[in-house]
Amino acid sequence: MRLLSLAALGVSTLALSGCSFFNGLMGQPTHHGANNHHNGGYYAAPNCGNRCVGGKQISKWNIEAGAGPDFIVGGDAITGGDTHQAFVGQQINSVSMQDAYDDAYSVGLGGSYMLNPNRKLTGQYIYSAASGQTNVLGTEVGAATPTNATLSDYESHGVEAGLRQYFTPRVIGQSVRYRPYVEGKLGAAYVDDISLSTVQQGNAASARTVDFYDGGWVPTAAGLVGVETPIFNRATLGIETGLRYTGALESANALPGQAPNLSGANNGSERWTVPLQIRGRYRF
């Protein structure tokens, strides 16, 4: 997956734009470009029949790629308050997703289709991974010392479809121009099984690993804002952020048999993250 991350990060330097967009943004206005600037249509030039780059027709299809961190901001990993009350003297802590995991890293590859100069349909495959961190689980029944716990890595593969709306281009100084946008996405992700490894402090012989969440498909949704700027003909580079939701997994069916005192502690796993991605787009 390190190779996948590096590849996607390399591809993410590529992006797309239409001819009149570059005519306006790169300081080369034309009569047609001026009309498009007035109408907000920077990705099409109707008076030139979409033949604006080297005399070749520009497609409405784009390839896109992006990579960057996903900062975890919400969700519960361990729901200590839901454990069975029959185990007298036990105190299991609740642990948030933010404390249970390092911030995630995600890479994506997909495409988009221009509905009109200001709007695109998007589709993307997304891979995301986060490493588990060690936390104090609490004091288990019959234990003389607190128990440390570590969840296995959070790893997911998902697909999302969305709608992106562009706004009027802006300018910084005399030459740097950019175009803001907003985007909404819906999709689904397959999250791998998650296990819980525990060990009582000072008692290495107590170490054990139990099933905690069963892997499966969960819903995803995201609201994003970003900006794009042209880097060369047919290509743009952008940065985007927002809020992404990933749904909860099913509690592992095997946990009550493996560790009955922890039954109920696995009623969480939904996740809220703030992505920050460099995204590239190339138009054919």
- pLDDT value, residue 140: 92
- The whole-number average pLDDT for the span 25-47 is 39
- How far is 170 from 229, CA to CA, in rounded Å? 10
Q: Which residue has the higher pLDDT, 228 or 42?
A: 228
- The whole-number average pLDDT for the span 155-172 is 95
| pTM exceeds cut of 0.75 | yes
Enumerate the domain spans of the chain.
2-283
Residue with tokens 């109707």: 46
Q: What is the residue-averaged pLDDT of the chain? A: 84
At residue 249, the 3 state secondary structure works out as: coil
Residue 27: pLDDT band with limits 50, 70, 90: very low
- pLDDT value, residue 208: 96
- How far is 72 from 103, CA to CA, in rounded Å? 6
pLDDT at 32 over 80: no
pLDDT at 17 over 50: no
* Residue from 197, 102, 192 nearest 155 by CA: 192
Out of 3.30.930.10, 2.40.160.20, 3.40.640.10, 3.40.50.720, the CATH code matching 2-283 is 2.40.160.20
pLDDT at 93 over 90: yes
- The whole-number average pLDDT for the span 66-88 is 93
- What does residue 25 show for φ and ψ, rounded to 5 degrees? -80, -25
- The whole-number average pLDDT for the span 9-28 is 39
pLDDT at 173 over 50: yes
Q: Are 228 and 238 in contact (CB under 8 A)?
A: yes
Cα separations in angstroms, 254 against 10, 105, 209: 42, 29, 12
- pLDDT value, residue 56: 56
pLDDT at 145 over 80: yes
- pLDDT value, residue 8: 42
Neighbour-count burial for 27-41, b at 16+ CB within 10 Å, e otherwise: eeebebbeebbeeeb
- How far is 37 from 27, CA to CA, in rounded Å? 12
* Residue from 220, 208, 196, 264 nearest 104 by CA: 220
For 227, other C-beta atoms within 10 Å of its C-beta total 17
pLDDT at 12 over 60: no
pLDDT at 115 over 50: yes
- The whole-number average pLDDT for the span 225-235 is 91
- How far is 85 from 138, CA to CA, in rounded Å? 14
- The whole-number average pLDDT for the span 150-174 is 94
- pLDDT value, residue 232: 84
- pLDDT value, residue 58: 66
Q: Which residue has the higher pLDDT, 198 or 84?
A: 198
